Amino acid sequence: MKLLSTCVLACSTLMATAAVAQTAAPPQAQRLYLRSLAATCAHCHGTEGRAVAGEALVRLAGLPKDYLLTQLMAFRTGDRKATIMHQITRGYSEEQLEAVAAYFAAQQ
């Protein structure tokens, strides 16, 4: 999965989706499900991870996948202190966090 960050957008999106797909849905459906999963972050971090400039809640779009996943997992374990992100990340599986990290890394 480390190769993901070097893939083109479509490639990384489809590969990441495979990690969260519940059924053998067609690739277009898997892409839709992944975009929906990532949309659960958009309330606070902006549509497709593009937060409003200058706000404390950071932009996720374009950050490296490994960095994003490391932070998400650190929130989840409590290693990184947070007001809210520890409570949010515990609602997602590791596979889902990896998928959204790959998704936001692939956004411009």
Partner 1 sequence: MQRRQLMQGLGLAAVATMSGCASLSGARPQVLVVGAGWGGSTVAKYVRMLSDQRVDVTLVEPNEAFVSCPISNLVLSGRRQLADITHRYDQLVQRHGVRLVRGRVEAVDPVQRRVRLADGSTLAYDRLVLAPGVDMMWDGVQGLQAAHAQGRILHGWKAGPETVALRRQLQAMRDGGTYAIVIPEAPYRCPPGPYERASVIAAYFKREKPRSKVLILDANPDVTSKGPLFKKAWAEVYGPMLEYRSQHKAVAVDAATNTVKFEIQDDVRADVLNVLPPMRAGDIAVKTGLANANARWCHVNFLNFESTVAPHVHVIGDSIQIAQGMPKSGHMANSHAKVCAAALVADLTGLPVNPHPMLTNVCMSFVDDEHVIHVASVHEYVPTQKTFRTIGGSGGVSDVRSDLEAVYTQGWARNIWSDMLG
Residue 55 or 64: which CB sits closer to partner 1? 55
Q: Which stretch binds partner 1 (CB under 8 A): 4-12, 65-73, 87-95?
A: 87-95
Give Cα separations from 63 to 5, 24, 26, 59, 81 (angstroms): 10, 29, 28, 8, 20
Q: Which stretch binds partner 1 (CB under 8 A): 1-9, 10-18, 63-71, 82-90?
A: 82-90
Which chain residues interact with partner 1 by CB under 8 A? 22-23, 25-26, 28-29, 32-33, 35-37, 39-40, 42-47, 51-52, 55-57, 83-84, 87-88, 90-92
